Structure 1
Amino acid sequence: MTATLDPWLLEKLVCPVTRAPLRQVGDQLITPDGAIAYPIVEGVPVLLAEAGQSSLPRPVTADAISEHDQRDRDPE
């Protein structure tokens, strides 16, 4: 059985990689584009970049996070 997170908490949670808001789907928190899903284990969201299941072409790593952060700082 999947417990629904408190709406107040859910509106404050963001993806640690993209900083996008998350939405709950079953026992996962998913980014708006559906690219990364984080598990909810025994009612506790696991928001570690390494815990995210990615549908991106490469796994989420510290290097990918750094690249994403660099793109945010240096827009084209």
Structure 2
Amino acid sequence: MLSGPWRRAASALRASAAGSRAVHAAGPRPAADSPGSDPASPPAAFDAALLDVLVCPLSKKPLRYEVSTNELINEELGIAYPVIDGIPNMIPQAARMIRRNKQQEEKEQE
């Protein structure tokens, strides 16, 4: 039996899977219905409880959620994973660098 954060994560995944099956079964939605079509609408909320179980796939370190950019931040590596429609994209190729290497900074200071 799952407990604590694992139970919340499993519940969130089940709810997400159930919702995606309904969308696929009903076919694509019109563009006017899509959550991202209205520029004034806020992005889907990220469930902060997932931070208890999510770690960076590269360093296996905990992540921090940045509300202003809607990203999960790995301070150690200096990378940010985007959160799209409330779902974190944890693919390393999708991450963006948020700071340069110390070596590059030192070269520029010379």
TM-score range, shorter chain: 0.5 to 0.7
Unaligned residue ranges in structure 1 (runs of 5+): 58-76
Letter in 2 for 1:46: N
Backbone CA RMSD of aligned residues: 1.9
Deviation at 1:34, TM superposition (A): 6.4
Task: Report 1 or 2 for greater relative contact order, CA contacts < 8 Å, sequence distance ≥ 6.
Answer: 1
Q: Tell me which stretches of 4 or more aligned residues in structure 1 moved more than 6 Å.
A: none
Are 2:48 and 2:65, in contact at CA under 8 Å, matched by a contact in 1? no
In our comparison, the structure showing a higher alpha carbon Rg is 2
| Secondary structure, counterpart of 1:8 in structure 2 | helix
Unaligned residue ranges in structure 2 (runs of 5+): 1-41, 102-110
2:55 is aligned with 1:38: no
Deviation at 1:17, TM superposition (A): 1.1
Q: Give the TM-score of the pair, scaled to structure 1.
A: 0.62
Percent identity reads 35
Q: Give the TM-score of the pair, scaled to structure 2.
A: 0.45
